[in-house]
Amino acid sequence: MLLQNAVTDGQAEAGALPLGFGGVERLEDLGLLRARNAGTGVLDIQANQEQLVQVLMALLLNAVDAMEGKGGVISVMTQRNPERADEVMAEVRDSGQGMAEGELSKIFEPFYTTKPPGRGTGLGLSICYGIVQQHRGRISADSVPGQGSTFRVYLPIDPAPLP
């Protein structure tokens, strides 16, 4: 699991639990999915586990859709942010169709979708953005048309409990 429960001392506020981040212990044959923890150990964060699972699931489902049934690879990696030691980073990368720069600048807006009519509401990434913001984090995306997309979620390591 990318997120695993850490031992709590009962001081966490309702809905916000200390979590261990980065617990991908071994590679498993998951079809299209490759997962790895690029660091050592588990990094503690204060988070609502259900909400972070919702974010990662939305990113994974979008990655599957981006491959349009043609196959490819989705990789998930967790590590300490190499640019900021006070953050962890979860990265979801796909080898799907990618997005043009004009689309990329709008993907976190409510009701914006790159999917055909009837295949998406345009709320998934907007909701992800809101959840990550509530966790005092940030989310970013890079994409190259025809080569795929990379989404990164950055969360602070062991911050004060969430409001």
Q: What's the pLDDT tens digit per position in 36-49?
A: 556 656 677 888 88
- pLDDT at residue 163 greater than cutoff 80: no
Single pTM value for the model: 0.76
Q: How many Cα neighbours within 13 Å face the side chain of 47?
A: 31
pLDDT tens-digit profile of 56-83?
Answer: 999 999 998 888 878 788 898 888 888 9
Give the C-alpha distances (Å, rounded to integers) separating 77 from 13, 41, 81, 99. 28, 14, 11, 21
pLDDT class for 6, splitting at 50, 70, 90? very low
User: What would the pLDDT profile of 84-137 be if each residue is shown by its tens digit?
Assistant: 988 889 999 999 999 999 999 999 999 888 887 778 788 899 999 999 999 999
CA-to-CA dists, residue 36 to 33, 40, 77, 148, 155, angstroms: 10, 11, 5, 19, 18
Return d(Cα 27, Cα 159) in angstroms, integer: 29
Over range 21-26, report the average pLDDT.
Answer: 36
Taking residue 27's Cβ as centre, other Cβ atoms within 10 Å add up to 10
Rounded to whole angstroms, what are the CA distances from 44 to 68, 78, 80, 107? 36, 13, 11, 29
CB 151 within 8 A of CB 92: yes
Q: What is the set of domains in the chain, with CATH numbers?
A: 3-156 (3.30.565.10)
Q: Quick one: CA dihedral 5, 133, 137, 146, positive or negative?
A: positive
pLDDT of residue 149: 96
